[in-house]
Amino acid sequence: MFRDRRVFSWALYDWANSVFATTVMAGFFPVFFKQYWSAGADAVTSTAQLGFANSIASVFILIAAPVLGAIADGGGARKQYLGVFTALGIVMAAGLYFVAEGNWAMAALVYVLATVGFSGAIVFYDALIVSVSPAHRYDEVSCFGYSLGYIGGGVLFALNVAMTLSPGTFGLAGAAEAVRLSFISVAVWWFLFSIPLFRNVPEPPRTADAGSAVAAGLRSLAKTLREHRTHRMAALFLAAYFFYIDGVHTIIRMAVDYGLSLGFPAESLIVALLIVQFVGFPAALVFGLVARRVGPKPTLYFGVVVYVAVTVYAYFMTSVVEFYILAVVIGLVQGGVQAISRSLYARFVPAAQSGEFFGFFNMLGRFAAIVGPSLVAVTGLLTGSSRLGILSVIVVLLIGAVLLAFVREREEAAPAAA
């Protein structure tokens, strides 16, 4: 299966774009935002600024993703839209290099646009899984993509960390220049390793011109909204997914900022992120094998419960060693939760409308974080406590876990309505 050129080329896009999630979103942007672009602001205020920036980017995807998915299906243009959003993400990631010190507002704007490109592209990337894999292989193919993402993200991130810790070795003036250059390296890596998908993954034939595709896409979106009442497990799963994945990605995006707020050295926090990446690679593959044996839902539920425990643990954390322990635990479940969510939802999706349905999937949170970052920001501002801010994430995780308990994994997708 993984020797299939189409499967490998599709999965390689995870290798390509995961460097943005790792180096920018989870790693250097939170550190640089706090210490360079927002220098002088107190920890709670800079955390709130970062939290609101993440939420703003996610709100755009919330609004746009299902519409774009419907239009792409109507016009046979999944790869075309994937290319547009990928280009936006790449250009804006590189643009972070040029943002001046102290200009936190411009940094936030460029970051929001880069995140929109990153998240929007994934709508169409996820939808293309039905073009490269039969339904009974979704779990394994999805986890293969995530595992490549962990390795790709980890390899470049390790190089970026080395540049930051020893800038002189790379002929750089200092750590700040190394971090800024890392944003350029993300853009180049993302561009180069995206090429195989566009060359080798098939696109369904175009059935309408651009104008007709827009109209047909919007009509199809309205129909998909109605059909979610018929595809009840898809609708219920999306409700659960919206909450628990919002919590997962809040932790991904805010963990380094939280560690900085507790006074942990930035270098130690970056090392912890590397631990997540390299633990996450084999763990994502194991999740796929476990899901094949015991079913995706029990495997997924286990991962969500672990995240609830992680949030409680983070509240009481007092040392860097405990942050490392946290990183190992997150690495064991992070990729598996994301990958099994994608493959479980694929079971409820009509193949001919995968773009629309995966538009909803991404709209409700694949890499979005809407409620969680705002909760962290508002709770921190109201209480003055970063610990209570991170603990508030448990609310969305628990709601998601309760809703997930009612999802029946064996209910297959009904035929698309005429």
In a domain, 105, yes or no: yes
Number of domains in the chain: 1
In a domain, 414, yes or no: no
Number of other residues whose CB lies within 10 A of the CB of residue 369? 29
Grouping H, G, I as helix, E, B as strand and the rest as coil, residue 368 is coil
In a domain, 409, yes or no: no
Six-digit token string for 66: 């299902």
8 Å CB contact between 150 and 14: no
Q: Which CATH number goes with the domain that contains 308?
A: 1.20.1250.20
Separation between Cα atoms, residue 208 and residue 210, nearest integer Å: 7
Question: How confident is the model over 177-199, as pLDDT tens digits?
Answer: 999 999 999 999 999 999 999 99
Question: Whose CA is closest to 376, among 389, 385, 394?
Answer: 389
Which residues does the chain have with pLDDT short of 70? 1-2, 40-43, 62, 65-76, 135, 139, 204-231, 351-356, 358-360, 362-368, 409-418
In a domain, 395, yes or no: yes
The number of angstroms, rounded, from the C-alpha of 341 to the middle of its chain's C-alpha atoms is: 12
Any residues with CB less than 8 A from the CB of 187 and at least 6 apart, and which? 90, 91, 93, 94
Residue 43 phi/psi, 5-degree rounding, is: -60, -40
8 Å CB contact between 405 and 236: no
8 Å CB contact between 43 and 224: no
Question: How confident is the model over 58-68, as pLDDT tens digits?
Answer: 777 767 766 66
Range of the domain at 309: 5-200+209-404
Predicted pLDDT of residue 363: 62
Q: Please, what sign has the CA dihedral across residues 94, 147, 243, 157?
A: negative
H helical segments located in 231-295: 232-261, 266-294
Burial group, residue 412, by CB count within 10 angstroms (0-12, 13-18, 19+)? exposed
Predicted pLDDT of residue 79: 86
In a domain, 418, yes or no: no
Predicted pLDDT of residue 340: 86
Predicted pLDDT of residue 92: 97
In a domain, 152, yes or no: yes
8 Å CB contact between 190 and 17: yes
In a domain, 359, yes or no: yes
Separation between Cα atoms, residue 172 and residue 164, nearest integer Å: 9
In a domain, 412, yes or no: no
The verdict on pTM exceeding 0.75 is: no
Separation between Cα atoms, residue 224 and residue 231, nearest integer Å: 10
Predicted pLDDT of residue 134: 73
Number of other residues whose CB lies within 10 A of the CB of residue 293? 8
Predicted pLDDT of residue 32: 85
